[in-house]
Amino acid sequence: QVQVVESGGGLVQAGGSLRLSCTTSGLPFGDYNMGWIRQAPGKEREGVSCISRNGRSTVYLDSVKGRFTISRDNAKNTLYLQMNSLKPEDTAMYYCAAVRSGTYWSLNPRGYTHWGQGTQVTVSS
């Protein structure tokens, strides 16, 4: 059974930092492209960043470029999102998602096949 579990969310003041983590089990992590997707209250889900299975390719939402960094450790089956200079508009539930490499490469959330339950990030002004 595939499990995707996020951690690291919390409450932080504007300008602060958080590091999200996502661990997976039940799937060959190194064969999967991974993404971070967020959903703010009353808004649709939007892709924040994605990373190729080997970590060599990354894509970022324009509004987080220069502030967020996605990375992965295939030996630990873990995905990360380092978030710096956080803004109130970054407040959202953040989800980790996976899709087999070679089948989908996009920030668009609709193509991901495995999802976690999410971790809440709240940025106060």
Q: Can you give the pLDDT at residue 55? A: 97
Q: How far apart are CA 77 and CA 14, in angstroms?
A: 30
Tokens representing residue 53 in the block: 């299975």
CA 56 to chain centre: 16
Q: pLDDT per residue over 58-113, tens digit each?
A: 999 999 999 999 999 999 999 999 999 999 999 999 999 999 999 899 999 999 99
CA–CA separation, 58 and 74 (whole Å): 15
Give the residue among 92, 90, 113 at the shortest CA–CA distance from 34. 113
Contact between residue 38 and residue 50 where contact means Cβ atoms under 8 Å apart: no
